[in-house]
């Protein structure tokens, strides 16, 4: 029986019809930055809490690549500061995720925009900009934590149609990207919010909270990765 399973899985690994694509990168490895709100923190990193929201001071013990970005509580909100990432993908429907610490309702969002000129990136909820919420909806707020959590890309009421609760559901909205070069801007909105990694996949069912995605940036074949995990269990 084990031989049969082996052959079946091996056939799936090499079959392009079943291939899924990944891409990921470290948040601190941005291609451009504007302003001083976004800082790079090396781990371990002591961070101030938010007494008004019942969050004690805490230590970020680890991060992928040993570093992450954000602004400490007290640095102030908004400001128009941003970081930009340049990446290349195949044309497809892509599901983006961010590995984030969002400890309270006062420290749980940033702005974002895809394929937008630097001069059009602002800390405002209009034009090309979206708000990426991390447990903003009332029914999600019980999940606030000072641990890293992967959040699917969403929008509060911007041009992207994937609302937060939709993205937490069974039919999340993908980002439709053409083949070639693209940009992602993250613009500052709230201090006390930290970002470690960005990850995207064509696999709607993949959840990086359950399976840690590979880094650094490099498209990966999902079934090859899955096969490696399965093989280790034999």
Average per-residue pLDDT for the chain: 86
Contact indicator for 111, 196 with CB cutoff of 8 Å: no
Contact (CB, 8 A) for 186 and 71: no
CB-based contact 102:135 (threshold 8 Å): yes
What confidence tens digit (pLDDT) does each residue in 31-52 have?
999 999 999 999 999 999 999 9
pLDDT digits (tens, 9 = 90+) for 9-21: 233 333 344 589 9
> 99 near 196, Cβ under 8 Å?
yes
Domain spans in the chain, listed from the N-terminal domain onward: 19-232
Residue 166 has pLDDT above 70, yes or no: yes
CATH class of the domain comprising 19-232: mainly beta
The reported pLDDT for the residue numbered 212 is: 87
Owner of token pair 């090396």: 42
Whether the pLDDT of residue 219 is over 50: the answer is: no
- For residue 142, give every residue at least 6 positions away whose Cβ sits within 8 Å of its Cβ, in sequence order, or none: none
Residue 78: pLDDT band (50, 70, 90) is confident
pLDDT band at 101 (very low <50, low <70, confident <90, very high): very high
Q: pLDDT digits over 186-215, tens only? A: 999 999 999 999 999 999 999 999 998 864
What pLDDT is attached to residue 213? Answer: 85
Q: How far apart are CA 60 and CA 99, in angstroms?
A: 13
């Amino acid at each position: 029986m084990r031989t049969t399973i082996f052959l079946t899985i091996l056939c799936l690994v090499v079959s392009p019809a079943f291939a899924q694509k990944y891409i990921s990168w470290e948040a601190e490895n941005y291609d451009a930055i504007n302003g001083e709100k976004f800082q790079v923190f090396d781990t371990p990193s002591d961070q101030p809490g938010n007494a008004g929201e019942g969050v004690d001071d805490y230590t970020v013990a680890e991060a992928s690549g040993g570093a992450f970005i954000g602004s400490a509580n007290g640095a102030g909100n908004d400001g128009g500061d941003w970081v930009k990432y340049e990446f290349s993908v195949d044309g497809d429907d892509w599901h983006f995720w961010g590995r984030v610490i969002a400890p309270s309702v006062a420290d749980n969002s940033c702005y974002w925009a895809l394929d937008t000129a630097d001069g059009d990136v602002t800390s405002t909820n209009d034009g090309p900009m979206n708000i990426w919420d991390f447990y903003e909806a009332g029914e999600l707020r019980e999940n606030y934590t000072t641990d890293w959590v992967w959040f699917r890309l969403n929008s509060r009421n911007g041009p992207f149609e994937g609302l937060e609760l939709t993205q937490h559901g069974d039919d999340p909205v993908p980002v439709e990207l053409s083949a070639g070069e693209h940009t992602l801007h993250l613009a500052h909105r709230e201090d006390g919010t930290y970002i470690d990694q960005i990850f995207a996949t064509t696999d709607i069912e993949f959840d990086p909270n359950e399976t840690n995605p590979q880094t650094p940036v490099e498209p990966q074949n999902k079934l090859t990765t899955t096969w490696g995990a399965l093989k280790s269990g034999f």
